[in-house]
Structure 1
């Protein structure tokens, strides 16, 4: 199966496009900064901030929710951005904003953190959509569509490396302020590395959609298909977010003190990077929606495994199984979005990302409500994870329905 985005008519920019491998590498670095640092470095630093009394779990959950709300609005903003705007230029300035917002978290002003995490989420939502649009469109038009999924290794590698760095910082007795400073410097260096590759002058712009007149018959309706697809993707956002926000904290509540407690999150991220590479080999050999079903069932298994097997091997295996499909399903959903809406891909991806963000927003409040009504934090986390895993199973069922009804 070829990527449908290869059939999108486009108008090239005035410059010479970089090689596909360079484009994908740059896209991966952008996502490592925007998602791995801008969004998920917080997961690694949260236990340190709680331990040093900078905040408690309740306020930490509030900051997480603010970030996810910002992510929602950033993604919704993509629906309003004109189709002819340069994705490369938007990505460049999103990288700059990520560096500045990460630096702002060094300030010991808890009231300010709420706004910073909200803005960081908004930047992440916008930048994920437009990094995908720029990178996937560029490689598809050079005949290397399947290579595009390797871009999503940036998210996994960003999570994995940031988690390992945070673990090293904790072992070296760095303060949470120093930890945020280290991530700021890393983001700034990576920004300088890819600035020239993310070049608006070499960007391909989509041509205006061709209006189709029909006589004697109506075009098939796709509204229900798009709605079900969007709902399934939104459930995936809810299904993964409790693990993505609290995994180091959950491990500390379930296991005795160990060096492993700070390694489950990096393992999750590195597994995600491997999954992104693996899907480049599977994409085209199997139907996209069949792969989405597999990814959601795998992630459901990984999310709930620690509740069934609350041990060191259980957490390691759960992190691997949940991590492998983490970014692979993002690529698969965006690839399907390009097929379903070839002339409004960025807008539809923005809508999908918004649904994903809505799902994420419900995660931390659910944990807060459950924790308020239980006396055992371990039981509270287990219940939260089982609900999340159930949402992923429902999402896989929706993709099965889509496969049978819309071929």
Structure 2
């Protein structure tokens, strides 16, 4: 839980609440802001592909902990950079580190939980993202009220991300004490059927959610009506994300993973559209609640589906699914930033993102990842 709070909730998503201060201080265009966000996702994609390497040298735990430290360092480093190339490089490296933490950390944690007969606690692991988002939102709000500039915001949230690393070292034991299944390291003869289709659905999801996830706070600050809610919207995203993995895990168990995945995409599409078309306090709150309440649930359902498709090679399955997700994330902020600069409003990028989520919902119900099946016990 703490690992994802540090690497994902803070390292990856702190950019959203800090972005408005950066735009004002540095006179960043929306296109450049989107480019910086996409650099993180390019690194995320590269990290996911690297984590899938069948002969990754060293132990998974060493890569996991090293990536956790690197992610915290690059987050703090954003406060010391002063140029677009520096921002791009730091976000690129940070994105790579976050993918290693997600892929290798999730494989480690889920292996330990499975070995201990406590697989149902996997929802707590993914809830760390919501915890990190809520913590970074509260930190940024408090610091801005105290007069901190954008540089100090990055330094403090980066320091917070680093502070939890010793706890993670203590909580996640070495692999010798809880070895992964011997089949994990075995080379796969071929990619399990259905992983490519699942990656496509996850790519559409990545494109759809990331537009609002990148620009929500900036859009709220620019709205005279909703501006008063700026301190609350990103905190609400994090708080809604905390129980969402468990809730969507239950839905996957009760109704089948594909139906749950489709339902979550439909709800998220509603929230994304509301964020762009209904720029009022009610619209902002609805967008924040539906974004936070679905995006980690969809991520967890995708991981559960990948595990079911490739139970003997989870690391590779996680990495391929994450890679599809990463491709969608790369395109989303750049395209949204260009549309924001061109149209001056958030409606066009929001509708495009909502359309991608609707397509993901359609594909998942029409056979995307059909090898996963629809049985009630495949997500838990």
8 Å contact 1:229–1:398 — kept in the other structure?
A: no
> Cα offset for 1:116?
0.7
Q: CA RMSD in A?
A: 2.4
Q: Does 1:361 align with 2:330?
A: yes
Structure 2 portions without partners, runs of 5+: 374-380
Q: Which moved more, 1:41-50 or 1:285-294?
A: 285-294
Contact 2:226-2:279 at 8 Å conserved across structures = no
Find the aligned partners of 1:101 and 1:34 in 2 and give their Cα distance. Answer: 10
Q: Residue 75 and residue 209 in structure 1: after superposition, are their counterparts in 2 closer, same or farther (change >3 A)?
A: closer
2:363 corresponds in structure 1 to 398
- 2:212 maps to 243
Q: TM-score, normalised by structure 2?
A: 0.90
* 1:309-320 alignment runs, 5 A limit: 309-320=278-289
Match of 2:49 in 1: 76
Go from structure 1 to structure 2 and tell me whether the alpha carbon gap of 1:314 and 1:82 turns closer, same or farther (over 3 Å shift): same
The whole-number CA distance in structure 1 between the counterparts of 2:255 and 2:124 is: 17
- Counterpart contact for 1:255–1:312, Cα < 8 Å: no
Shift in Å at residue 81 of structure 1?
A: 4.5
Q: Find the aligned partners of 2:183 and 2:251 in 1 and give their Cα distance.
A: 32
Residue in 2 that maps onto 1:158:
132
- 77, 82, 100: which one aligns with 1:104: 77
2:212·2:275 contact (CA, 8 Å) conserved in 1?
A: no
TM-score, normalising length: structure 1: 0.84
Native 8 Å contact 1:301 1:322 kept in 2:
no
Q: Which residue of 1 aligns with 2:36?
A: 63
Give the aligned partner of residue 115 of structure 2.
141
**What is the rounded CA distance, in whole Å, between the counterparts of 1:382 and 1:403 in structure 2?**
29
Partner of 1:117: 91
Partner of 2:378: none
User: Closer, same or farther in 2 for the Cα pair 1:222/1:139, shift >3 Å?
Assistant: closer
Segments of 4+ in structure 1 off by > 6 A?
none
Q: Match of 2:183, SS?
A: coil
Whether the 8 Å contact between 1:34 and 1:98 is mirrored in structure 2 is: yes
CA distance in 2, matches of 1:283, 1:310: 32
Task: Report the CA distance between 1:252 and its aligned residue.
Answer: 2.1
Alpha-carbon distance in 2 for matches of 1:332, 1:388: 20
User: What does residue range 220-299 of structure 1 map to in structure 2 within 5 Å?
Assistant: 223=193, 225-256=194-225, 258-299=227-268
Match of 2:163 in 1: 189
* Larger CA deviation: 195-204 vs 124-133: 195-204
Q: 1:310 to 1:333 in 2, by over 3 A?
A: same
Q: Rg: which structure is higher? A: 1
Shift of 1:188: 2.1
Return the offset for 1:72: 0.7
Q: 2:366 aligns to what SS in structure 1?
A: helix
Deviations 1:36-83 (A, max 9, x none): 111111111111112222744332222111111111100111121437
Offset, 1:404: 10
Contact kept, 8 Å, 1:50 with 1:56, in 2: the verdict is yes
Q: Note if 1:385 corresponds to 2:350.
A: yes
| Distance of 1:61 and 1:91 partners within structure 2 | 28
